[in-house]
């Protein structure tokens, strides 16, 4: 368990954050720029000192105001910054070996060869940082941190400084890291697609305070998240299982009692995946649509209604376990009679459904 309860003031900004998150796993700190996310992990690393509070990791207290304050170098924490911060005069192998030399007397997370294989660094070992892409530099920085044998890995927006194409290149490697090693990770981001794919626990930070926390599927429907993302962010993240992948690289994913189609060239049958469905991209009907393919047509019942501004409502639908959300006008909701328990059908646009597939990294 990672337990955080910290207070700190820097000028006019006040941080007052408390949460407990299960370990191992990826705790995502999500929020707008300036909300206090980076300050919080600097406190965890011991780079800043809080005015009051406590940090405890898996039963060991790292900080307890006035009593315990373990020095940063003794906390056995790996830290990856936005800009990688590799040594420019060292090769990739040299940077990785530096992390290995800093390892304290702890059981190795993985061998040098395993880290190189995990992060796809084999062809890069003789290169210098200036010869790498932004995504490659971040993979090296992550490898260096892993080789220091950390008990906790802090990733401070590691994809923020690279373009979208490179982000999509690195994300699968981070999924591999999450799934292969039992290392607690705190991942800072203001991109929800990263959180949706990686996190096992989400903490929403807003103005230096915890606005909401919990599993990804629960937080995805929380009003606090909608407030951070805006109207277009309303929706839900659900989990499903890949049943098959056709020759065109389209995966059929079971979601509750229905199926949806997602592009995923490397997906495999049996994989558990997460799918993000925005409320604005769902068509809701009270009769089964005719002439619509059964894929991306889900049947369920209304289990919740909430106002979404003066002219629309968010309708929460149970589709056989998972919960999805549809946005309809208040007038349309009244016309359809969307009372709790009402049987409905959801038509999803295949072009707008977003999925994250574990282990889908280039070989």
The distance of Cα 126 from the centroid of its chain, to the nearest Å, equals 32
**pTM for the complete prediction?**
0.89
Q: Compute the distance between CA of residue 32 and CA of residue 227 in angstroms, rounded to an integer.
A: 11
* DSSP 8-state assignment for residue 35: S
Domains recognised in the chain with CATH numbers:
2-227 (3.40.50.300), 235-356 (2.40.50.100)
Largest CA distance in the chain: 69
pLDDT at 108: 66
pLDDT at 233: 77
Q: What Å distances lie between residue 58 and 20, 185, 190, 243, 330, CA to CA?
A: 11, 13, 27, 37, 48
Give 294-308 pLDDT, tens digit per residue: 678 899 999 999 988
Q: Compute the distance between CA of residue 352 and CA of residue 19 in angstroms, rounded to an integer.
A: 33
Mean pLDDT of 125-130: 96
Query: Would you call 94 helix, strand, or coil by DSSP?
Result: helix
Average pLDDT, the chain: 89
Q: Compute the distance between CA of residue 274 and CA of residue 287 in angstroms, rounded to an integer.
A: 27
96-110, 194-208, 289-303: segment of lowest average pLDDT? 96-110
pLDDT at 66: 86
Q: Compute the distance between CA of residue 77 and CA of residue 149 in angstroms, rounded to an integer.
A: 8
Q: Compute the distance between CA of residue 51 and CA of residue 71 in angstroms, rounded to an integer.
A: 16
Q: Compute the distance between CA of residue 221 and CA of residue 350 in angstroms, rounded to an integer.
A: 21
Question: What is the phi/psi pair of residue 291, to 5°?
Answer: 75, 20
């Amino acid at each position: 368990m990672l337990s955080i309860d910290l207070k700190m003031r820097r000028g006019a900004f006040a941080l007052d954050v408390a949460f407990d998150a299960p370990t191992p796993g990826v705790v995502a700190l999500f929020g707008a720029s300036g909300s206090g996310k980076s300050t919080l992990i600097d406190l965890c690393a011991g780079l800043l000192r809080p005015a009051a509070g406590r940090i405890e990791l898996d039963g060991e207290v790292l900080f307890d105001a006035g009593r315990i304050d373990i020095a940063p170098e003794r906390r056995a924490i790996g830290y990856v910054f936005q800009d990688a911060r590799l040594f420019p005069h060292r090769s990739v192998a040299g940077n990785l070996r530096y992390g290995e030399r800093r390892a304290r007397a702890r059981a190795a997370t993985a061998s040098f060869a395993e880290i190189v294989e995990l992060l796809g660094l084999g062809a890069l070992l003789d290169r210098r940082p200036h010869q790498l892409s932004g995504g490659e530099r971040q993979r090296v920085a992550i490898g260096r941190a892993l080789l220091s044998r950390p008990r906790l890995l802090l990733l401070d927006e590691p994809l923020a400084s690279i373009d979208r194409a490179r982000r999509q290149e690195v994300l699968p490697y981070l999924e591999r890291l999450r799934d292969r090693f039992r290392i607690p990770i705190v991942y800072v981001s203001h991109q929800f697609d990263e959180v949706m794919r990686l996190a096992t626990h989400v903490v929403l930070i807003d103005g230096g305070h915890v606005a909401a926390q919990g599993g990804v599927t629960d937080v995805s429907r929380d009003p606090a998240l909608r407030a951070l993302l805006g109207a277009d962010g309303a929706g839900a993240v659900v989990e499903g299982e890949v049943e098959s992948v056709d020759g065109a690289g389209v995966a059929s994913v079971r979601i509750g009692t229905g199926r949806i189609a997602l592009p995923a060239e490397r997906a495999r049958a049996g994989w558990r995946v997460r799918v993000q469905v925005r409320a604005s991209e769902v068509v809701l009907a009270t009769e089964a649509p005719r002439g619509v393919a059964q894929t991306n047509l889900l049947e369920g019942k209304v289990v919740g209604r909430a106002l979404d501004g003066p002219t629309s409502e968010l309708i929460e639908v149970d589709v056989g376990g998972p919960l999805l959300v549809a946005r309809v006008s208040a007038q349309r909701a009244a016309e359809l009679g969307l009372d709790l328990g009402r049987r409905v059908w959801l038509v999803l646009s295949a072009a707008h459904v977003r999925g994250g597939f574990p282990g889908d990294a280039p070989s």
